[in-house]
Amino acid sequence: MRRVRAMLAAWLVPMGATAFAAAEPSTVLTRAATHVMVVAHRGGGFFAPEDTLAAIDLGVEVGVDGVELDVRKTADGHYVLMHDDTVDRTTNGTGEVAAMDLAQIRALEVRWAPPQFVRKSQFPVPPDSDRFWHLRVPTLEEALGRVRGKAFAMLDLKAEDAEGVARLVTEKGMVGEVIFKVNSIAEGEAVRGVAADAVLLGRPDDEEALDEMLAALHPPIMHLDEITFTAEVIERLHNAGTLIWMNALGEADVTAVVADGNDLEWLRRLGDQLGAWWPTRFRPNVRPYRKLAERGADFIQTDNIVAVVRTMAEYKKPMRSAK
């Protein structure tokens, strides 16, 4: 296992992967001004059980800048990592998170089936590694402790208790290492009411909601989608000094990781020396990610974390002049 981690570190670090250093409230935004930030969907993307400490550890080892984590609230008031409103899909239990207490949830074991379309050779750590066995659902406190000083955490507030989550983050002294995803003006105001310096990621449903959220909250980051990620909106946001978050999930990531597997096989046939020379940017699997960055994305959330970390390590983000 140590050998695998050493090989992974040697592969990524010379290419420019840098550890996230969290010190002040503006650290995330300061780094995003000069780098396209890579965010691991649910902690470890395709390569680890979602929303677990093992996923967070893997994301950090690969070199992501941040991890996206889903937060829900138990019946007895604790915050845990869980995407769905029930534990059915990701554990060996059944029931709604909001109807279970922490002890009940902690008694469950996480279940994980690695994606079949990802070749085993593409996993930075073998999917059958014992580090992915007998995992428990972590609390938000545990997750924050895991990322402290290593990566930022983007919290997807499924708990419907933005104020409570913000209070916990504040008590842990980690406001500068967290991005709060807010889906409404009220949710953003609840976070800011507890932590005035909190970094908000606005998630509007359409361009009208985007304008309203910008006017009311002035979030430093806006989450766009295929509809709102237009040249006009991109220019308007960047002129206002607002950073842009885009997802590369679903079909984009699946297509890219399959292409990456094919590329790896093709490069092996070329031979180690020639394969090592072939620039990453010319490989088909990285084109969608480079295109997002070239169009103006400042944050890219992905399941295909290994490829995107390597791609963004080689990508030189253009400096934008202040308007």
**Where in the sequence numbering do the catalytic residues fall?**
41, 83
Specify the 3-state DSSP secondary structure of 1. Answer: coil
Helix, strand, coil percentages for the chain (3-state, nearest 5): 45, 15, 40
Contact 108, 91 (CB under 8 A): yes
* Half-sphere exposure for 67 (CA within 13 Å, toward CB): 35
The full DSSP string for 183-238 is: SSHHHHHHHHHH-TTPEEEE--SSHHHHHHHHHHH--SEEE--TTT--HHHHHHHH
Contact 192, 107 (CB under 8 A): no
Q: Say how far residue 88 (Cα) sits from the centre of its chain.
A: 23
Read off φ and ψ for residue 244, nearest 5 degrees.
Answer: -115, 130
Which residue pairs from 221-227 have beta carbons closer than 8 angstroms and sit at least 24 positions apart in sequence? 221/29, 221/32, 221/179, 221/245, 221/298, 221/299, 223/181, 223/247
Contact 25, 289 (CB under 8 A): no
Separation CA 265–CA 242 (nearest Å): 41
